[in-house]
Chains A and B, each alone.
Chain A
């Protein structure tokens, strides 16, 4: 198909594609598996699950993460839950419904076959996690409990208190630990991937830096799996961990991997607002709060009265007003945009006017304070810790923040990128969430990719690669090591006048303003120019002190920010190209008269996959074909 973008979607009816594909996939004989070395970057739900499962199957696995332990990957921060089409509640859920909700939630910008497979394996994920000892919430009868999440009409979300991500990751980590003990997986924590190595056009390894000693090393494999999470930190402030980066995927991109839909980012509506310039990260307040909280802003512009003094009739419960049938549970992109609208309109609250209220007064009246405490106590505590405000007494202030990135490296149905041998899993790929991800679906995707998809599909590639693994002292590795070292030396030698963080903050603010919740032609073009300028200044004026041969956190950051400074440009380019509004991508020029996103299926029902080997990015399009769902305007009214 067009320009090497063969999605390899199997034929046949939607429900049969995955079983058929598994049957058609090549198997590797158990005795031969230990002859294959697989390099996995990332130990989150996606990478960790893949490493554990492939190790269990008998492959030799090397796994890398930048934290001091695989258990700390940012998957750990997920609070709300994980979806699965179990229909334990008998409320009408099914694989097809989860599939449909995900496609629709993604604003019809994802692949039917991938999403269907995700929904299909979702049930096995829960079984797998329960078997590993993940302590999901239970009912008194001893069965698994569910809740409705993120505006879904069915209760299909499994959860473990407010720390589902941590519990799922601990399950993955436990399985991984077992394989490490068995010698099947060699774990390299505090090790950062700095380049991908291609030999004869195939991904055959990586170059890493030991973050303690600075040692640059090569690791050769028969296949490389990237599961390095999202790039939300291009905005500097986000709900991501401080170390989250685009480096791994961007380096792969520079070696030929296509980057798909980079402009699709998710802004989460319920985060604690920014308080000042020194702020280093934003904290998410679980979406579940919207089940009982009511969102409002004052009706009058610049109303500076404390919330208690604003009478009921002077409050605008704007979500309930605009989306009567979903109300406060309207999807993330829609709620976020509505909050921005209110604030842009001068009706924002709190310092800087960038905030709206999430009010529990009614819920407390209806259900009593103890009930609310029981449901959300830990969130209220966290809010109190950060803001020193008591949300039982006064409404919370919330504002949207960057949370998740739907875009990522382009992959086919086997999760292999256009670079043979390079597979991409979890948030790092682009495949399942289209232009907007539904709540509780990222955890599901990470585990689906790691536990069930890649173990079944990787054989298709490996079977063609017997005995082709290059030695780690192959010339291509040596060259990549030299490039990496040269770049580090260059960063250390600039010795300019500005810190890495100051550049990062500047880039982040620009991205947020021009390529955040709302985008337009002029703004994006301006951003493209500004990014270039910032980048140019960075390379002559950044100050990264110290040496390579030591633990050097400033150097680590400098390398990541340097990549964000190139990547930001790609995001803006993609946003500029997509002259429609869909999901998290809102182009101000393309909206309905009442301000809703206006999709253009005629011209933009495609995946935009960017190639950049040298210099200018080239766009490839993978058309999206919908045979099982009817494209409709997403309406939550």
Chain B
């Protein structure tokens, strides 16, 4: 097993696999989370009940959170490590360099990723621990449950916050428009024939996620959702 550990944790391809698999876990979460959040459009009752169910899962919830946190941390640590190595692999830069294929998305993975990280931190402080807005803690609905519905709407009524969320989601979208097909390439699913399909699919998925997440702050800003 030590050999397996070192094959994956010390080699270039092995670590790519780790980034890809943790990335996949995060994508799965991102999609699941999005579907959960979109229930807000189905009314206060629905979203609050959903939140309540999640919280009632106790240890399972913590297991999932721990897993996600681990994936997130590993994803970040490994990508930062790889990026640093990549910098070192070309000590003398080109004075003129033209890119033919690499796009904004692929070149900005570390930036988009780090901004998404800062977004996630803020997001947790904002809606999960309510550290930034302690007043959210006390919101309760008619059934005495935490009023998630009201919290989200109050949260996004501040345009600064809403726009920060939208920007964060755009960067996540950018990250994934490269990331998803990159995942497929890394795990070896790509071929000459699939390449264009994966490329387009990756972009589609990214925009789909962007649309799903931004729908909520956008709806609040446009007064389509209100308390």
Answer whether A and B touch in the complex at a CB cut-off of 8 Å.
no
> Which A residues are within 8 Å of any B CB, using their own CB?
none
